[in-house]
Amino acid sequence: MFSFFKRFKGSKESDNAPEESQTAPEALAPEPAVEAPQAPVAPSAPRPVAPVSADTQPAAAASINEPEPEAPALETVEIVPPPMQDASAKRSWLTRLKTGLSKTSSSLTGIFVGAKIDEDLYEELETALLMSDAGVEATEFLLESLREKVRTERLTDPQQVKAALRTLLIDLLKPLEKSLMLGRAQPLVVMIAGVNGAGKTTSIGKLAKHLQSFDQSVLLAAGDTFRAAAREQLAIWGQRNNVTVVSQESGDPAAVIYDAVGAARARKIDVMMADTAGRLPTQLHLMEELRKVKRVIGKAQDGAPHEVLLVIDANTGQNGLAQVKAFDDALGLTGLIVTKLDGTAKGGILAAIARQRPIPVYFIGVGEKVEDLQPFSAEEFSDALLGG
């Protein structure tokens, strides 16, 4: 089943505008232009986010000088289940997930067909897990646990062994199954990072649509100021979802995101997501720039960013694990988005992450459509991986 989103019930904090005494960012570029959505809003579309323009910004700035009323105390925490999917949509997602992981699952499921429970079975299983990029540590852990389970429960049928492996895999992946919590701050600032080509910008667009289904207003910041295509791509997603995109040609990424946080606070936006330029962990000067962006976001709003997400491409296998470790060491990651699981033979990478760096996997993607990005479920993933 889908993960649950949490939001705080009651009045939202009213201290959403930055104060005049706020520290300026380390390097502030000229104020960015804002690309407002062009497409008309359909009656059934989520509530629009009005564009931020040069005309409206002075008014926002003026409101900063007004005395701030005391924020009411938050009363209770309410669990809000995700919007219900009809049965056909749910089946469609599970089918896409199983199809996407078929290259990984084919090597695992065939082992148990007409097999004897002997050393050959364990050797074949070890090879299949390593080939799926589960990694040495996770593979050894699963095999040792499986041997013990077979012995203590006196399993004699290969399908029983397969069911035991499924249980062990779910237990291993369960710590990664965690929800994104909404309503902790206004705006909730989400910083997105990753290497080139991992699918950051596309994931941001899909996630914006997902958040709107929870009646969350969204603002996007095009922090990839070096690549015109990235800004254009984000602008297209902004038009599709009818949300404002703050962008600027060249300039300092930290300054663009700083201004976007200020605009989101002034306009009482629920979630502000910041795109960043792709970079390899070995590019130390670019990793330092990313740390600077995070520091500047903290100056724009206390406690921000509230989420630091890394987008990884499942096809990179063990390189994906190396990326998780490097970005986590640099930024302190709070969650992962795993993309391009469709067609990969390396779906076991989540087992490696769970064993070596168990950072929550908020979403997984198995295609290009908006509905192809869904919350991670350990049980659904394990069933797809083992052909359950």
Residue 114 CB neighbours (<10 A): 6
Q: How far is CA 39 from CA 236, 251, 264, in A?
A: 10, 28, 21
| Spatial CB neighbours of 10, under 8 Å, sequence gap ≥ 6 | 72, 73, 74, 75, 76
Say how far residue 64 (Cα) sits from the centre of its chain: 32
| Burial degree of 346 (CB within 10 A; 0-12, 13-18, 19+) | buried
Burial code (b: 16+ CB inside 10 Å, e: under 16) for 298-323 equals ebbbeebbbbbbbbbbbbbbebbbeb
Nearest of 182, 224, 230, 170 to residue 207 by alpha carbon? 182
At 225, list the tokens. 């100021």
List, in sequence order, the alpha helices (H) in 1-135. Answer: 57-64, 87-100, 102-109, 119-131
DSSP-assigned letters across all residues of 289-301? HHHHHHHHHHHHS
Beta strand spans in the chain (E): 5-8, 34-35, 77-80, 188-194, 218-223, 244-246, 271-276, 307-313, 335-339, 361-365, 373-375
Q: Could you list the residues known to form a binding site, using ranges.
A: 194-201, 275-279, 339-342
Q: Could you list the residues known to form a binding site for GTP, using ranges.
A: 194-201, 275-279, 339-342
Q: What is the largest CA-CA distance in the chain?
A: 76
For the chain, the residue count is: 388
DSSP character at residue 342: T
